[in-house]
Amino acid sequence: MQILPPTRILANIPVHIVLSTCVLVSAQAYSATPLRAELAGDFHETVQEDVAVSGSVVVGVAATSALSGEATLAGLVIPASEDSICLTVLSRDGVYFSRNTYRMPDGAMAGGGTLVVLPFDGTKERDLISHYPLGDLAVRASPVGCEQSSGTYLVATNGSEFDTIDVLVNAFGANAVYYRTADGAEADCDEFTEGRRTSYDYRCTIPVDVLGTGHRQLTIERERYGRPLGKVQIELQLGSAQ
């Protein structure tokens, strides 16, 4: 019997078997992690055609691929917190708004790399939400209940790997917005030039390579014709599974 060297053995395995095995392994490694969080109380949401403007500078924090209606309806994947998570969802046109507290499932460990899925089954506006494309729906998750406020935001994802994080900003009359990382990296944010800009009007797209993982400090700065407006310092918590 002829003994083949390892390279020849690998070469003889069909390509589609190798690829499907790789996909299966990575998907299992990822999908095994998220636990399902539980909605605390009734699902709260509003739909109003008249103007509703957010009062915060930072309106959304999520992976770029997670800022759509489809990703929200499918259930956002978020790093687990100590006790509960407040998820705020707001459309760019100001029509849709929801804010709900989720309880952490048993076995979820904050800061331990545990990811949780926030189900969005309670919504009655599935049709409206599904029509918001990428960038038109802001999601913001804080590691506290919705009755409390926090400057820390958990970065929401759609469960897949991502390269960039978007911070959606309500510029409050500023005509230039830029971000600065703890390491001093600085870049301009982009203005939404088309469509309604009721809830937010700037998008800061930050590469994960620049930001890093774990707990990261970020400063959002705004200017109006060269005059600085108030800075906003936030802390982002990125899941370690990414």
Chain residues binding other proteins by CB under 8 A are: 49-51, 53, 93, 95, 170, 172-173, 175-176, 188, 191, 193-198, 223, 225-228
Residue with tokens 């108030």: 230
Integer CA distances (angstroms), 16 to 6, 26, 90, in order: 19, 16, 42
> What are the φ and ψ backbone dihedral angles of 134, each rounded to 5 degrees?
-55, 130
DSSP class of 156: B
Q: Given the complex with other proteins, which of 50 and 106 has the nearer CB atom? A: 50
174, 228, 181, 233: which is closest to 202 by C-alpha? 174
Q: Given the complex with other proteins, which of 160 and 175 has the nearer CB atom? A: 175
Give me the least distance between CB of 180 and other proteins, in Å please: 11
Q: Given the complex with other proteins, which of 82 and 188 has the nearer CB atom? A: 188
Give me the least distance between CB of 183 and other proteins, in Å please: 18
Q: Given the complex with other proteins, which of 6 and 173 has the nearer CB atom? A: 173
DSSP class of 113: T
Task: List the strands of the sheet with 202-207, edge to edge.
Answer: 58-63, 164-169, 202-207, 190-191
Give me the least distance between CB of 167 and other proteins, in Å please: 18
Q: Given the complex with other proteins, which of 11 and 51 has the nearer CB atom? A: 51
Confirm if 23 and 17 have CB atoms less than 8 A apart.
Answer: no
Give me the least distance between CB of 50 and other proteins, in Å please: 5
The whole-angstrom separation of Cα 192 and Cα 202 is 6
Give me the least distance between CB of 106 and other proteins, in Å please: 43
